[in-house]
Amino acid sequence: MTRSSSLDKHKPKVLHAKFNNAISGYLKFIYINDKKTLVIGQFCSGFEGSSNCSKIIPSPNGYKIRIVRRPQCPSFIPRFDLSHRLRYKITPSGGTSEMKCDFKFGLDDIKGLFAQVSQNRKVIDFAPIK
Mean pLDDT per 10-residue section of the chain, whose length is 130 residues: 54 92 95 95 75 46 87 84 75 81 95 92 93
What pLDDT is stored for residue 96 in this prediction? 83
What pLDDT is stored for residue 9 in this prediction? 65
What pLDDT is stored for residue 73 in this prediction? 80
What pLDDT is stored for residue 87 in this prediction? 57
Q: Which residues contact 108 (CB under 8 A, 6 or more apart)?
A: 11, 34
What pLDDT is stored for residue 45 in this prediction? 86
Give me the residue spans of the domains in the chain: 3-128
- β-strand pairing of 122-128 with 114-119: antiparallel
Class of domain 3-128: mainly beta
What pLDDT is stored for residue 92 in this prediction? 66
